[in-house]
Structures are given as C-alpha cells and as structure tokens.
Amino acid sequence: MEAYAEHHTGKMNYCFFCENISYKKVPGKEVGNKWICINCLHQLKEIFEGLERWEEEMAMGSKMQDQIDENLGI
Ligand SMILES: [Zn+2]
C-alpha cells in the first residue's frame, strides 16, 4: 500500500476527505501525511470559522451560566 502511494506521488493526489483523485494541476495541501484538495480546504475553512464563533458563543454561554449560578448563590 505504501509502495502504491509512493508510486503515484507526484502524479496524482488522493483527497483524504472527498476521496477524489486529483492531478497536480488541482491545488491542495498536505496535512500531516494526508493530502486535501482545495475544495475540501474551503469547506474546512468555513467549518473552522464557524467553529471559532461557536466556541466564542460557548464561552459566553458558560460565563452567563456562571453569572446565573452566582446570582442564585450556588
Ligand atoms: Zn477533497
């Protein structure tokens, strides 16, 4: 399996996420030992941007919960 992958490195890339095989002209990025195509990178970017907002909301939510607990004297 390793030899198979090595044999094809440089010619084509196999996207870890969408499982499409892309030739070198398709942009992508190697993340660890996985290659991810530009389409999936765009999707990941959106997910991570959403994740940051979500984490902020979670942080704010837990602060509010702390405040509520304080007000209730817990
Ligand atoms: Zn992909």
Residue 13 Cα to ligand 1 midpoint, Å, equals 10
pLDDT tens track for 19-38: 888 777 788 999 899 999 99
0.85 exceeded by pTM: no
Residue 41 is predicted with a pLDDT of: 93
Residue 30 Cα to ligand 1 midpoint, Å, equals 11
Residue 10 Cα to ligand 1 midpoint, Å, equals 17
Q: Which of 42, 4, 37, 43 is nearest to 19 (CA)?
A: 37
Q: What is the token pair recorded at 41?
A: 């990178």
Residue 5 is predicted with a pLDDT of: 52
The full set of domain ranges for the chain reads: 2-72
pLDDT tens track for 26-73: 889 998 999 999 999 999 999 989 998 889 999 999 888 888 888 888
User: Distance of alpha carbon 51 from its chain centroid, rounded?
Assistant: 10
